[in-house]
């Protein structure tokens, strides 16, 4: 039965001795993997990084539908349902404390640059979980003032908010009112 030891090997486990522990730290941020924002996610190249780092990379990338492995440069297409749906590294998870065995359901809001807790695992009692509900991972490049409409609107808002411009508008209205009154008076005197 023990003729082929590789047959039992976890496909996500890179080539390493069976006695060796998998890396429990993310190679990018050196944070310990956990079951919330630092969930270990496996790319197609079998390299594992935490969700937070992948989200930060995805936000800076100009190819939001794929993620490029920072170690081997190969591309992994993102799942239709988003970055958090990438496969978890079950081997790494199995080495985490028993309280971390159930992974939180996370939503990745790329436009807002946020990772948000969508659902707390049922194994975690509500009153004991102290995890923050969302995490900022930076804003996407070119999101600030990129759309022309938004910029025009903000320009208008700036004009309206400037006291000098407001005073100018008010005095224009006053001058028009005065001119109209004078015109009416002149017209009445001509009759
Ligand atoms: Zn990381
Ligand atoms: Zn890789």
Kindly tell me if the per-residue pLDDT of 15 is higher than 90. no
Per-residue tokens: 10: 């976890």
Q: How far is the CA of 115 from the centre of ligand 1 (A)?
A: 13
Q: How far is the CA of 70 from the centre of ligand 1 (A)?
A: 11
What average pLDDT does the segment 7-11 reach? 50
What residues have CB less than 8 Å from 188, skipping those under 6 apart? none
Q: For 111-149, how does the pLDDT look when each residue is reduced to its tens digit (9 = 90+)?
A: 999 999 988 887 776 555 567 789 999 988 665 544 455
Q: What is the DSSP string of the chain?
A: --S-GGGGS-TTS-S--TTSPPP-B-TTT-PBP-SSTT-EEE-TTS-EEEHHHHHHHHHH-S-TTEEE-TTT--EEEPPTT-GGGSPB-HHHHHTS-GGGSSPPEEEEETTTTEEEEEE--TTS-TTT----SEEE--PPTT-TT-SHHHHHHHHHHHHHH-HHHHHHHHHHHHHHHHHHHHHHHHHHHH-
Distance in Å, CA 107 to ligand 1 centroid: 17
Ligand nearest to the CA of 27: 1
Write out pLDDT tens, residues 60-105: 998 989 999 999 999 999 999 999 999 999 999 999 999 899 999 9
Distance from Cα 80 to the centre of ligand 1, integer Å: 22
CA–centroid distance, 23 to ligand 1, in Å, is 12
pLDDT of residue 180: 93
Distance 28 CA to ligand 1 centre (A): 5
What are the residue boundaries of the structural domains of the chain, listed by start? 5-136, 148-190
Ligand nearest to the CA of 74: 2
Q: Which ligand does the CA of 34 lie closest to?
A: 1
Q: Compute, in angstroms, the gap from residue 180 CA to the centroid of ligand 2.
A: 75
Instruction: Could you please state the CATH topology (level 3) that the domain comprising 5-136 is classified under.
Output: Herpes Virus-1 (3.30.40)
CA of 126 to the centre of ligand 1 (A): 26
């Amino acid at each position: 039965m023990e003729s082929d030891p590789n047959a039992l090997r976890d496909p996500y486990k890179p080539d390493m001795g069976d006695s060796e522990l998998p890396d429990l730290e993310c190679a990018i941020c050196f944070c310990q993997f956990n079951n919330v924002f630092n969930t270990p996610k496996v790319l197609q190249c079998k390299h594992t990084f935490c969700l937070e780092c992948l989200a930060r990379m995805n936000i800076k990338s100009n190819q939001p539908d794929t993620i490029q492995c920072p170690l081997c440069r190969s591309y992994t297409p993102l799942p239709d349902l988003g970055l958090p749906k990438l496969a978890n590294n079950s081997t790494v998870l199995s080495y985490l404390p028993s309280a971390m065995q159930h992974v939180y359901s996370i939503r990745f809001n790329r436009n807002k640059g946020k990772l948000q807790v969508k659902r707390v695992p049922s194994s975690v009692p509500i009153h004991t979980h102290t995890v923050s509900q969302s995490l900022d991972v930076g804003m996407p490049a070119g999101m600030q003032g990129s759309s022309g409409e938004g910029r025009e609107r903000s320009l208008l808002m700036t004009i309206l908010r400037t006291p000098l411009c407001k005073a100018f508008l008010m005095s224009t209205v006053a001058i028009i009112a005065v001119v109209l009154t004078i015109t009416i008076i002149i017209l009445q005197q001509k009759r």
